[in-house]
Amino acid sequence: MTDSLDTLSIRQMCDAFDVTPRTLRFYEAKELLFPIRLGTRRLFTRADRARLTLILRGKRFGFSLEDIRQLLAMYERDGSNQAQLLRTLEIAKDRLAQMEAQRAELDLAIDDLKTQLTEGEKMIAAFNTPPTQEGSAQ
Amino acid sequence: MTDSLDTLSIRQMCDAFDVTPRTLRFYEAKELLFPIRLGTRRLFTRADRARLTLILRGKRFGFSLEDIRQLLAMYERDGSNQAQLLRTLEIAKDRLAQMEAQRAELDLAIDDLKTQLTEGEKMIAAFNTPPTQEGSAQ
DNA sequence: AGCGTGCTTTACGTTAACGTAAATGTAACG
DNA sequence: CGTTACATTTACGTTAACGTAAAGCACGCT
């Protein structure tokens, strides 16, 4: 029988989510995950998997682990509280604004760098003009 | 007469470039700037100002100070060497590719976050439907 | 002489998210 | 019972770019 009540060992978790054991232990120490302890071993439940999914998603959005911890904690306390949901939406909107600002600055920097590159290639082209004759066609 | 042969004190530099004295000393320690030493005081020359401009520009492009130091060093050694210029262009192109990749991932994350936000607002809307009657129009 | 201002050096502190090494434990296999 | 495989805890190390505190010159003014 599947005596594993739908739990995963640390290695299975690592393979499933492409993270290291150190990362999972770190997240537990930071109170982001709460695996069951079987003796000294960790057993990661479905809830842990759900949390880890949210954690990794949050990281993509640029939230710090501490931010994520607080957001998760809010929902652990009362996932059905509408006020909390609204608060979360606000936080997410703020983060979105930051990401879009970052995108805008990145776009500017990219354009600037492209300009610089063009300048540089002009320099090269100038030096590369072979002094065979005068003008240069072909 | 302007006995300052076109040099700036550390404070004047800070005001001109909006950086702290610590930053300028740090850049000197890292061999990014080479101010003249008048006794123990620093005098920043036109060349230093040019370098600092490049440093700050490089930072916008996401280069590390060490990257910048190497690029500057290349030009200090031989600014007219075409091979060096080509090498620099390669580095810049690589960096541009990285920035564009970063932009792409950022765009994806932004879209995802927007989707999440929409989901969240749906939740709110669902809860907010006042149970006055049955359906709800307007 | 005393004071204020601006500059200096030295050197430890900060932050995030793990990496990595060392020593130990334990369960199952043969 | 010895080995192997996987797990655990503890705790110091890493990286970048400065911040910040402490303590002390050096100059000019009064």
With beta carbons under 8 A apart, name residues in chain B contacting A113: 61, 92, 95-96, 99
- Dihedral, CA atoms, B23, B26, B27, B29, nearest 10 degrees? 160
With contact defined as beta carbons under 8 Å apart, do B28 and B35 qualify?
A: yes
Instruction: Provide the CA A92 to C1' D15 distance, Å, integer.
Output: 29
* Min Cα–Cα distance to chain B from A57, Å: 9
Transcribe B13-63 into DSSP letters.
Answer: HHHHHT--HHHHHHHHHTTS---EEETTEEEB-HHHHHHHHHHHHHHHTT-
A89 has a pLDDT exceeding 50: yes
With beta carbons under 8 A apart, name residues in chain B contacting A99: 106, 109-110, 113
Contact at CB, A99 and B106, closer than 8 angstroms: yes
**Given this model, what pLDDT does residue B2 score?**
40
**Given this model, what pLDDT does residue A50 score?**
97
A129 has a pLDDT exceeding 90: no
Return the HEC string of A17-44: HCCCHHHHHHHHHCCCCCCEEECCEEEE
In chain A, at which residue ranges do the beta strands (DSSP E only) sit? 36-38, 41-43
Query: Within 7 Å: CB of A21 and strand D?
Result: yes
Instruction: Provide the CA A24 to C1' D11 distance, Å, integer.
Output: 18
Q: Nearest nucleotide to A10 by CA–C1' distance?
A: D7
A19 has a pLDDT exceeding 50: yes
Would you call B111 an interface residue with chain A, using a CB distance cutoff of 8 Å? no
Query: Within 7 Å: CB of A9 and strand D?
Result: yes
Chain C positions with any atom < 7 A from a protein CB: 6-10, 16-20, 25-27
CA atoms within 13 A on the CB side of B29: 6
Residues above pLDDT 90, as percent of chain A: 76
A58 burial via Cβ count (<10 Å: 0-12, 13-18, 19+): buried
Query: Within 7 Å: CB of B53 and strand D?
Result: no
With beta carbons under 8 A apart, name residues in chain A contacting B127: 82
- Dihedral, CA atoms, B55, B57, B59, B63, nearest 10 degrees? -90
Q: What is the pLDDT of residues B16-47, one digit of tens each?
A: 999 999 999 999 999 999 999 998 899 999 99
Q: What is the pLDDT of residues B88-133, one digit of tens each?
A: 999 999 999 999 999 999 999 999 999 999 999 999 998 877 766 6
A12 has a pLDDT exceeding 50: yes
Q: What is the pLDDT of residues B52-83, one digit of tens each?
A: 999 999 999 999 999 999 999 998 888 778 88
Query: Within 7 Å: CB of A92 and strand C?
Result: no
With contact defined as beta carbons under 8 Å apart, do B55 and B73 qualify?
A: no
